[in-house]
């Protein structure tokens, strides 16, 4: 199976601080990869480099056939193929749920309004919020807002979804409802890379786990690697309950 994401020896610094050092990994189509590690280990920066929200100092990244490190990269096409969901929902408060979801497809795909509305209702049903199309963000719980943010990315029919600690601002009950949506997406074959502190979820859903430490890929393997860490750093991380 050919990788949909190829990260080859990327390094990245912010000023004098080295945040990524010689990081490499592949992600196959239809697989789920969880990136774990302590705060400051470089995991979110690696994710942002994949979507070209950050540029690398060296190395190569290919995503969905796009050369991310090429000066000729078509950013608009990349944004069609790669969806990203952050910790903050970033919904427009003056727009309904339906309008929030239809905005990007209307600007980029330029379909008929009826077609875009149908698309919005389809992705809302995917995240279990079909009845909330006419609601405003302020009328939703944090978990519901995060599920709308996921639906908004799905509306562009991406080949790859990136999740950057999307549950870290939610309480356990709301975290559960968001994770159930992500688990369903994985079961439906969506290719996903997620930065997460939810160890039980990573172990259950991820085909591969990448443990990052000090800006490097420290350990990499299936979920079972959390039961038998090969390094003291991962042993301490798992034992800390983070």
pLDDT digits (tens, 9 = 90+) for 106-159: 888 777 888 889 999 999 999 999 999 999 999 999 999 999 999 999 999 999
Please tell me the predicted confidence (pLDDT) of residue 37.
95
Alpha carbons 46 and 132: distance in angstroms, whole number: 34
Please tell me the predicted confidence (pLDDT) of residue 215.
96
pLDDT digits (tens, 9 = 90+) for 21-33: 999 999 999 999 9
Provide the domain limits for residue 83.
Answer: 3-239
Over 80: is that where the pLDDT of 76 sits?
yes
Query: What's the mean pLDDT in 45-67?
Result: 95
Over 70: is that where the pLDDT of 242 sits?
no
Give the number of C-alpha atoms closer than 13 A to the C-alpha of residue 240, restricted to the C-beta side: 10
CATH of the domain at 23: 3.40.50.300
| pLDDT band at residue 241 using 50, 70 and 90 as cut-offs | low
**Number of separate domains in the chain:** 1
Q: Which of 17-21, 60-64, 170-174 has the lowest mean pLDDT?
A: 170-174
Please tell me the predicted confidence (pLDDT) of residue 78.
93
Query: What's the mean pLDDT in 55-61?
Result: 96
Please tell me the predicted confidence (pLDDT) of residue 122.
94
| pLDDT band at residue 53 using 50, 70 and 90 as cut-offs | very high
Alpha carbons 119 and 178: distance in angstroms, whole number: 20
Cα→Cα distances 177→77, 147, 182, 205, Å: 31, 8, 9, 15
Query: What's the mean pLDDT in 192-210?
Result: 94
pLDDT digits (tens, 9 = 90+) for 3-23: 999 999 999 999 999 999 999
Alpha carbons 162 and 146: distance in angstroms, whole number: 14
Query: What's the mean pLDDT in 24-44?
Result: 95
Residues contacting residue 222 through CB under 8 Å, at least 6 positions apart: 207, 208, 209
Residue (of 166, 151, 131, 144) closest to 34 by Cα position: 166
């Amino acid at each position: 199976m050919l990788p949909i994401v190829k990260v080859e020896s990327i390094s990245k610094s912010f000023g004098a601080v080295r945040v990524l050092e010689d990081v490499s990994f592949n992600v196959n189509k239809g697989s789920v990869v969880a990136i774990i590690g302590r705060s400051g280990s470089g995991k979110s920066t690696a994710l942002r480099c994949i979507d070209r929200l950050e540029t690398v100092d060296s190395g190569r990244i290919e995503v969905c056939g796009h050369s991310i490190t090429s000066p000729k990269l078509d950013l608009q096409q990349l944004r069609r193929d790669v969806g990203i969901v952050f910790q903050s929902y970033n919904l427009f408060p003056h727009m309904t749920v339906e309008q929030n979801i239809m905005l990007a497809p209307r600007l980029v795909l330029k379909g008929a309004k009826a077609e875009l509305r149908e698309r919005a209702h389809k992705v809302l049903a995917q995240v279990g919020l079909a009845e909330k199309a006419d609601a405003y963000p302020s009328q939703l719980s944090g978990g519901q807002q995060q599920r709308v943010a996921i639906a908004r990315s799905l509306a562009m029919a991406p080949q790859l979804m990136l999740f950057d600690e999307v549950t870290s601002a939610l309480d356990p009950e709301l975290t559960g409802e968001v994770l159930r949506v992500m688990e369903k997406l994985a079961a439906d074959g969506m290719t996903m890379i997620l930065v997460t502190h939810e160890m039980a979820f990573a172990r259950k859903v991820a085909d591969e786990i990448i443990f990052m430490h000090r800006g490097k890929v420290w350990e990499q393997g299936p979920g079972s690697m959390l039961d038998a860490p090969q390094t003291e750093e991962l042993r301490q991380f798992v034992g800390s309950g983070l």
